Amino acid sequence: MTALTDKTLLEIKSDLAAKRVSSTEVTKAILGQIEDMKHLNAYVTVCADQALASAAEADARIAAGEDAPLLGVPVAVKDNICTDGIRTTCASRFLENYIPPYDAFVVKKLKEAGAVIVGKTNMDEFAMGSASDFSAFGAVKNAVDPTRVAGGSSGGSASAVASRQCYAALGSDTGGSIRQPAAFNGVVGLKPTYSAVSRYGLIAFASSLDQIGPITRTVADCKYVYDIIKGHDKMDSTSYDGDLNQGETFGTLKGRKIGVAKEFFPSALSSEIKSAVEKAIGFYEANGAEIVETSIQSFDMALACYYILSSAEASSNLSRYDGIKYGKRASGCKNLRDIYYKSRTEFFGPEVKRRIMLGNFVLSSGYYDAFYLRASKARTLIKQDFEDALAKCDALICPIAPTTAWKIGRKVNNPADAYLEDIFTVPVNIAGLPGLSLKCGEDKDGLPIGMQLIGRPYCENTLLSLGEIFEKGGRA
């Protein structure tokens, strides 16, 4: 018999609905697993008492014959998504004690669906990083190999899902923060189309790029959670008010076109990763899909474009942390200047400071045109290139990252080099497109290799169908 914690979300959901198991039992099993997996440091906050109370409530509702999409199912939420009454830290010392006075839209959606929120997952501070090691609460460890990083910034969510510490977790993705950690931990991650999931209550990093999405163990679970959290929200002016199911759901590859852009397979790419993704391409072709050659000529500009735009927005978004309204204030502040300088110097970590500095630099007088404005124009070109490429195919396929999970503490020569980690994921955020990350192989150390499927706006179903077919074919 499969252990409770080993079941997929859909399996446990059906067990709960059929009363084969109670939510209290399931929640206790998950809390036990969280305790056992403490060394992975996937959670910043575990809310055992609230979780057990929600589980008891769910059990009562199930007993009364009620049903809801996630009734009684334990899930986790990244710690940059506001939860009313549960502290939300963004893995920053600045917000170590911040208890939001409201729920994010997605948290409301989870609660309405009957979910049991077991805790808030660890991450890179303010979602800035690719390894979840820039956390004020210590690095998250990879569920496959705890000596390695979990990826980032949603490393806690990915590691927690992979190590059975919840059935699904929400992450956020500004430049790959859902997809890359999902790949590093061998699970499934979806970055939805920009505007498909409300950002209300997501603590902003880069508002024009941020998007919330699910991390799960299977593609079917991913679709299930995505369908719950997506939808229009009048509190988010950028939330899409149209058809979110513009992509088809299908079970066979006949007539499907998958695009391969040469820029996504640079010569420097490791042969292990290259061959794993090529094998996936081979799978699709062998099963009836047509492989189309495409090109994203502006691919080279994406990284610079991303770092300029995301840092610029971040510098503004993070100016509100000043030690006045919420969060911490440095001790011994004698005047206003102290409040700003001392608090921000003491409570922001080094990577956050670097990005704030970069953002203020590219926006500052004399540099705006050369950096911010030019990046906004590059964005036009990148968006256009993806539109053109996706006009010729249903989805693009490429690697998620140029490497697999590296050893914790790996020395980086310069923080700028670390940004190269994001080259395959950031273009998708720049273009606002959906991206699905799933495992397509393992390297010689047994570490998961991830591939990415990129689709047209609001065509998540296409990606999920492609993902599900691959997942089933891969298993068979």
Q: Which active-site residues does the annotation give? A: 78, 153, 177
Give the C-alpha separation, 36 to 165, whole Å.
9
Residues 324-343 that bind other proteins (CB under 8 A): 324-329, 333-342
- Counting contacts by CB under 8 A, is residue 387 touching other proteins? no
Q: How far is the CB of 389 from other proteins (least distance, A)?
A: 16
> Least distance to other proteins from the beta carbon of 205, Å?
11
Rule CB under 8 A: choose which of 7, 13, 164, 344 binds other proteins.
Answer: 344
- Interaction between residue 364 and other proteins (CB under 8 A): yes
- Of the candidates 2, 18, 101, 475, which one interacts with other proteins according to CB under 8 A? 101
Max CA-CA distance within the chain? 70
Exactly one of 319, 388, 407, 445 binds other proteins (CB under 8 A); that residue is 319
Is residue 348 a contact residue for other proteins (CB under 8 A)?
yes
Report the residue number, 58 or 178, with the smaller CB distance to other proteins.
Answer: 178
| The pair of three-digit structure tokens given for residue 341, joined into one six-digit string | 């300088």
Place of tokens 């610029």: 312
Of 72, 155, 186, 201, which lies in the binding site for other proteins, with binding defined by CB under 8 A? 201
Per CB under 8 A, the segment of 34-42, 244-252, 265-273, 361-369 that binds other proteins is 361-369
Count of residues that bind other proteins according to CB under 8 A: 94
- The verdict on 45 binding other proteins (CB under 8 A) reads no
- Note whether 188 and 221 are within 8 A (CB): yes
Tokens of 313: 């927005």
Measure the CA angle with vertex 413, ends 409 and 415; round to 5°: 80
CB closer to other proteins out of 2 and 237: 237
For residue 29, the minimal CB distance to other proteins (Å) is 31
Q: What is the spatial distance between Cα 96 and Cα 99, in angstroms, rounded to a whole number?
A: 9
Q: Which two tokens stand for residue 126?
A: 């303010």
Closest CA to 130 of 446, 400, 314: 400
Q: Which of 241, 248, 285, 445 binds other proteins (CB under 8 A)?
A: 241
Asked if residues 306 and 383 have their Cβ atoms less than 8 Å apart, the reply is no
End-to-end CA distance of the chain: 21
- Any contact of residue 194 with other proteins (CB under 8 A)? yes
Q: Which member of 26, 73, 81, 225 binds other proteins (CB under 8 A)?
A: 81
Is residue 203 at the binding interface for other proteins, with CB under 8 A as the rule?
A: yes
Selected binder of other proteins within 31, 71, 75, 82 (CB under 8 A): 82
Q: Measured between alpha carbons, how far is 349 from 92 in angstroms, rounded to an integer?
A: 7
Asked whether 303 and 310 are in contact (CB, 8 A), the reply is no
Axis-axis angle for helices 374-391, 302-317 (nearest 10): 120
325 or 444: CB nearest other proteins: 325
Stretch that binds other proteins, among 221-229, 255-263, 350-358, 459-467 (CB under 8 A): 350-358
What gap in Å lies between CA 123 and CA 78, rounded to an integer? Answer: 7
Q: Are strands 395-399 and 257-261 parallel, antiparallel or unpaired?
A: parallel
